[in-house]
Structure 1
Amino acid sequence: MKRLLMLCLLPGLVLLAGCESQQQQDSETENSIRPVKYTIVSEPTLLTQREFPGVLQAKDRVDLSFQVSGKLKKLPIKEGQIIQKDDLIGQLDQRDYQAKYDSAVADFENAQADYERAKKLIKKEFISQSDFDKLRAKKDMTDANVRLAKKALEDTVLKAPFSGTIAKQYVRNFTDIQAKEPIASLQNNDELEIVVSVPEYLMVMNDEDKRQGSFDLKAVFQNIPKETFDLKVNEFATEADSSTRTYKVTLGILDKKGYNLYPGMTANVYISGKAGKKVNLVPVNAVFADPDGKRASVVWKIDSDNRVHQHPVEIGQLKGDQIEILSGLETDDKIVTAGVHHLVENQPVKLLPASQTP
């Protein structure tokens, strides 16, 4: 009996011992002093020029599609082809739609004739008002059917809504096409624009700065490094991206300077002017993602008792082996710069010789 009792209690004793061992290990980790490299945050730097990656796109662009289904009979286009407004993009087999249209016209003509006879008969009271109303409703209904059949027939022909270039052809000729299925992508490469994502502080520029033209916008393409292109703001989003917390801004190119620029090309956009932003620069190894996922980026901040605490920061752009800190740090703050993934909250540390951030 005693032996059976011991066998029942044994798993619980092992589990309890494991929990005590884990708690002891966590306590030892928290209380163990770990030597760390650290840096002291210096005065923030005023940035008068910011650089953002951008992607070129056509101002006018559309995926062309038929509004009705059918089999392709004509597709006189190819990728890279320059076309003019109202040029033929494609045409479906029209036989079924033509037959439906002819039938709708015949029904309307019969209904129209019945209605015209009824107008004469109603005056002589040879038919009731109810029968007359039915004939008039039938005439109106068949008239609407004619318009629908005519539109469906016209929709079997797809034309270019503006002049441009066929950027992509999605289907081949003589294939069955569903309504609203993309046939080709049309782009107007004469007017190009660059899309960039910018941080919040650039979006809150006041009206006085706007009037005085505080920002100078220029673009440099990777394959044309010695040429700069002046830009203007075409439009901008007023709602931040949910993941990056940045705002989409669309910039127009004032002069292509004779270069062949195409959608999809990448560029560096430089925004400069007096409306600068003060940022702190810290080693990139000091910043890491929040393990709990509650905050985007954090650092280990060292308090006066040489204990570390996770502290949220807002990061900017990479500058070599350093990264911009837009908010979250103050001058003379001490932060850990190496081994950030081996520390725990409130752990005491031993400070190795400090380095001063520029």
Structure 2
Amino acid sequence: MRLSRVAAATVFLGFLFSTGAALAQSDDTAELGPSGQPVPVPSVKLIAPDDADTGFVRRFFGRIAARETVDLSFEVGGRLVQLPVVEGESYPVGTVVAELETDNFERAVARAELTLRQATRDQDRASRLAASNVASAVRAEDAQTARELAEVALNDARDALKDSVLRTPFDALVAARLAANFSNVEPGQPILRLHDMSEIRVQIDVPERLFQSGIPPEAITFTGEVAQRKDPVPLELIEFEAQTEAIGQTFLVTLRLPDLKISTLIPGASMTVTATVNGDYTPPGRPLPASALLLGADRSAKVMVFDPDSDDPDSGTLRLQDVTVISAAGTDLRVEGLDADAELVGAGLQMLSDGQKVRRYTGLTTGE
């Protein structure tokens, strides 16, 4: 029994010695927690320095729009007998897209022609009688007026007959049929909605603060992302509405696309528009998300700079640094006082401390 106790004490001392050696060895690489166990080195997501040549970049949700969208209607009323169009199809300029029953209009033209002939005969008779002093000159003038009115009535009847047929005023894409065939329509009632696709445009809503930032339009390069093309599509600024939207206080800006033969680029389709400001007009400072700033009670701002180890660039030490926060347009946070190559912690600064050892987050591992 005595030998077993000595052996047990020897084993226990050996265990303590080995544990102490292990703790002493790990003390160089990690801090110890309250339990005496090594604390794992935390991983942090870092923000790399921005490329100075990229400029000030903003992305907008854009909507494809036609150069013009119109609702076609008849200037006269009648029974619709022809509507030979298909929604979503394109038709060249001058194509007949709707037609009214023309019997009434043709009879109106015939009546107007007969009335004009009679008025012409009456004018000739009255002129001869006035020349021979048989009738007064006033009667001859009234006959001339009646003839001129008959000419106007004939022109109106012919215009009404012509207006009973609708033709496309441009190379048109049929957006919607707004009336049913064989129905009675009134003058001015919309029959078809057409898109003028001779020029494809994209519209974006720009916030007022960005719109009034003072950056000239020629200093901004616009590009659009189209699913059918690998490279971005260059866009050209065309116009903007000189009034804000009722909701959101934004300005509607219209851009023009190049001539792309893509069937899915129809009004209402979405497009991501990127606006890049020339480097000469890029606001000062470095843009940062709010999560990368540590704000004090005295309105001071600090960031945590990652200083990598010389032997392992994925491990390093954190360093608190004071910065100056600026916001030229009031829409983003930019800071001054950082080195050009400084890497910063992007989030979770409240859980970290100055001088703490961390490692760069490069993705989840099996241990995490």
- State the match for 1:239 in structure 2: 243
Contact 2:201–2:254, Cα closer than 8 Å, also in 1:
yes
Report the structure number with the largest CA radius of gyration.
Answer: 2
- State the match for 1:342 in structure 2: none
- State the match for 1:84 in structure 2: 92
Query: What whole-Å deviation, never above 9, does each CA across 1:212-239 have from its counterpart, x for those lacking one?
Result: x311100114x45844111001221122
Q: 1:255, 1:82 → 2: CA distance?
A: 16
Structure 1 position 139 matched with structure 2 position 157: no
Structure 1 position 154 matched with structure 2 position 162: yes
Runs of 5+ unmatched residues, structure 1: 1-44, 284-301, 305-323, 333-352
Runs of 5+ unmatched residues, structure 2: 1-49, 292-296, 300-326, 336-348, 352-368
What value does the CA root-mean-square deviation take over the aligned residues?
Answer: 3.4
Q: Aligned in 2, Cα 1:167/1:329: closer, same or farther, shift over 3 Å? A: closer
Q: 1:158, 1:328 → 2: CA distance?
A: 50
1:260 Cα deviation after fit: 3.9
Q: Give 3-state SS (helix, strand or coil) of 2:119's partner.
A: helix
Query: What whole-Å deviation, never above 9, does each CA across 1:108-130 have from its counterpart, x for those lacking one?
Result: 11111111222222222222222
1:75 Cα deviation after fit: 1.6
Residue-pair matches, total? 251
The match for 1:269 among 257, 273, 291 is: 273
Give the letter for the 1:97 counterpart.
F
1:149 Cα deviation after fit: 1.2
Contact 2:234–2:257, Cα closer than 8 Å, also in 1:
yes
The match for 1:129 among 137, 146, 171 is: 137
Contact 2:200–2:259, Cα closer than 8 Å, also in 1:
no
1:53 Cα deviation after fit: 1.0
Q: Give 3-state SS (helix, strand or coil) of 2:232's partner.
A: strand
- State the match for 2:18 in structure 1: none
Contact 2:93–2:168, Cα closer than 8 Å, also in 1:
yes
Q: 2:96, 2:167 → 1: CA distance?
A: 5
Q: Aligned in 2, Cα 1:115/1:217: closer, same or farther, shift over 3 Å? A: same
1:102 Cα deviation after fit: 1.3
Q: Aligned in 2, Cα 1:281/1:178: closer, same or farther, shift over 3 Å? A: farther
Q: Give 3-state SS (helix, strand or coil) of 1:237's partner.
A: strand
Q: 1:76, 1:100 → 2: CA distance?
A: 26
Structure 1 position 220 matched with structure 2 position 228: no
Give the letter for the 1:197 counterpart.
D
Q: Aligned in 2, Cα 1:137/1:205: closer, same or farther, shift over 3 Å? A: farther
- State the match for 1:174 in structure 2: 182
The match for 1:111 among 103, 113, 119 is: 119
User: Sequence identity of aligned pairs in percent?
Assistant: 23
Give the letter for the 2:187 counterpart.
A
Query: What whole-Å deviation, never above 9, does each CA across 1:20-65 have from its counterpart, x for those lacking one?
Result: xxxxxxxxxxxxxxxxxxxxxxxxx998111111110111332221
Q: Aligned in 2, Cα 1:73/1:329: closer, same or farther, shift over 3 Å? A: closer
Contact 1:280–1:325, Cα closer than 8 Å, also in 2:
no
Q: 1:75, 1:224 → 2: CA distance?
A: 34
- Identify the structure with the greater strand proportion: 1
Give the letter for the 2:242 counterpart.
T
Contact 2:112–2:154, Cα closer than 8 Å, also in 1:
yes
Contact 1:166–1:184, Cα closer than 8 Å, also in 2:
yes
Query: What whole-Å deviation, never above 9, does each CA across 1:243-276 have from its counterpart, x for those lacking one?
Result: 3222111100024275642221101111111334
Q: 1:137, 1:281 → 2: CA distance?
A: 81
Q: Aligned in 2, Cα 1:280/1:194: closer, same or farther, shift over 3 Å? A: same
Contact 1:230–1:255, Cα closer than 8 Å, also in 2:
no
Q: 1:259, 1:156 → 2: CA distance?
A: 32
Range with bigger deviation, 93-102 or 234-243: 234-243
Q: Aligned in 2, Cα 1:190/1:143: closer, same or farther, shift over 3 Å? A: closer
Q: 1:206, 1:138 → 2: CA distance?
A: 66
Contact 1:197–1:249, Cα closer than 8 Å, also in 2:
yes
The match for 2:64 among 42, 56, 73 is: 56
Q: Give 3-state SS (helix, strand or coil) of 1:239's partner.
A: strand
- State the match for 1:312 in structure 2: none
Q: 1:282, 1:276 → 2: CA distance?
A: 20
